[in-house]
Amino acid sequence: MSKWSSVISFLLKTRTIFWVFVFLAVITTVQNISLGSHVFKMPDTAPPGHDIVNNIDTMQRYVGCSITHYNNYIIFKQSWFHLLQGNNLYIIYPSEYWDLYKYSPTFSVLFAPIAYLPDFLGLTIWNLLNCLVLFFAIRQLPFSDRHRNLFLAFIAIELLTSIQNEQSNALLAGLMIFAYASLQKGKSQWATLWLVLATLIKVYGAIGFCLFLFYPDKIKFIAWSVLWSVLFFLIPVLFTPFNTLLWQYHNWATLLAADQSNSYGLSVMGWLHAWFGIEGVKTYVTLLGIVLFLLPLARWRLYKNELYRLLVVAGMLIWVIIFNHKAESPTFIIAMCGAGIWYFAEKPKTWRNVLLFLMFLFTTLSVSDIFPHSIKDNLFTPYVVKVVPSIVLWCVILAELMMLKPNEKNSIPGEADHTIL
């Protein structure tokens, strides 16, 4: 074995990948804590004016306020204290953080143990939770050991982008993948728990409940879903009056409804707007996306086919990003997980290798310093390049789901099938 082969072999060991993920979590915390905070100033260019926070009236309330470089973590942390004090979770708090809290009241309670810790320790635990839940979820997929590690290496940089923003997207992706793995093992009690938690983090995590179609014991699945939903819905009652909790849920629903702004994000809607100047079709595009997502689910003869199931999971993880009008760069760890599942679920072909490479180049690396700022500022950002490979790949997955033959061999590629990544 050559020296280069020995290095590659070492880097792709499970233990090595594990410690890389731990290192990413810790070094990101060190970076964000060391950057400290900055005083908010009005931007030189006028804000868009149609967003809940990004408008002149709201921004003026932030002028002179101190904003940390780990702002999202502070939002999660302070939400617990706001819940405990009976304050509205879903309004701005300029003296504490920028932006709005958009998660459930239950998430505030689940964050409580971390909220009391010093920021360095709490943020480290939060980043580790995101990294390691995703790590162990991908380790549950029905691929060879080497392929799972290649998968983890493939998403590592995108994961770094997510945790540098203290986002929950890696955790959400991990919970959705864990739900699939639990259903494959016939453990609907765990699958429903992961899906309920995913939904309480971000409402579009609820899309994972469609997986119950593919497995027996549907009554058991529904019963566990109801049990976990009621339990977690009511957990905040231990810390806040029931009427106040209902008020918080009403405030949450109001915020989510108001959040349907004119922004397009890194989505299909953003692509149509940036490339073709199409506006005012967000609702129609979303409805079309829902119809297209549901279309392959009508192929009930394929429900027992593992390749079909994996392709549905891959498409689902990409769908929740490309049809999300608020999608931003850190959310694409979810889409990249979908890309990894798609790639390793089937035997490699040249065009599949090329498409995966383009995903890595224009989705993961498009926000890195490998490209000069002139290209990013004048091409990638205005033309939402980051989302384009995901849109193409989702269309490919949709086509594969619709063309998959019921009698096609139900097998996942072996070690020898993926000699080239």
Per-residue pLDDT tens digits for 338-382? 999 999 999 989 999 999 999 999 999 998 888 999 999 899 999
Output the six-digit token pair for 27. 């070094």
Mean pLDDT of 19-47: 89
Both tokens of 178, joined, read: 């864990």
- Cα 46 to chain centroid distance, Å, stands at 30
Distance CA 270, CA 7 (A): 42
* Segment 69-98, tens digit of pLDDT: 999 999 999 999 999 999 999 999 999 999
Reading the block at residue 405, the tokens are 């033959």
Q: 3-class DSSP state for residue 68?
A: strand
In the chain, count of helices (H) and strands (E)? 19, 2
Q: What band does 141 get if pLDDT is binned at 50, 70 and 90?
A: very high
How far, in Å, CA of 214 to CA of 134, rounded?
A: 23
What ranges make up the beta strands (E) of 70-178?
none
Residues whose CB is less than 8 angstroms from the CB of residue 73 and which lie 6 or more positions away in sequence, other chains included: 32, 119, 122, 123, 126, 166
What are the structure tokens assigned to 71, written together? 């702002």
Domain ranges of the chain: 260-421
Nearest to 147 by CA among 354, 345, 360, 313: 345
CA distance 302 to 406: 6
Rounded to a whole number, what is the distance in angstroms from the first to the last CA of the chain? 20
What is the pLDDT at residue 47?
Answer: 58
pTM above 0.75, yes or no: yes
If we measure between CA atoms, which residue out of 314, 18, 4 comes closest to residue 153? 18
What does the pLDDT read at residue 421? Answer: 40
Q: Which residues are paired to 67 by β-bridges?
A: 38
**Structural tokens at position 92:** 């701005």
Note the Cα 198 to chain centre separation in Å: 10
Q: Are 379 and 109 in contact (CB under 8 A)?
A: no
pLDDT at 260: 66
Tell me what percent of the chain is helix, strand and coil, each rounded to the nearest 5: 70, 0, 30
Within a 10 A sphere around the Cβ of 401, how many other Cβ atoms? Answer: 19
- Environment class of residue 172 by beta-carbon count within 10 Å: exposed (0-12), middle (13-18) or buried (19+)? buried
Predicted confidence at residue 50, as pLDDT, reads 59
CA separation for the pair 328, 319 (Å, rounded): 14
Return mean pLDDT, the chain.
91
Question: In whole angstroms, what is the distance from residue 322 CA to residue 292 CA?
Answer: 13
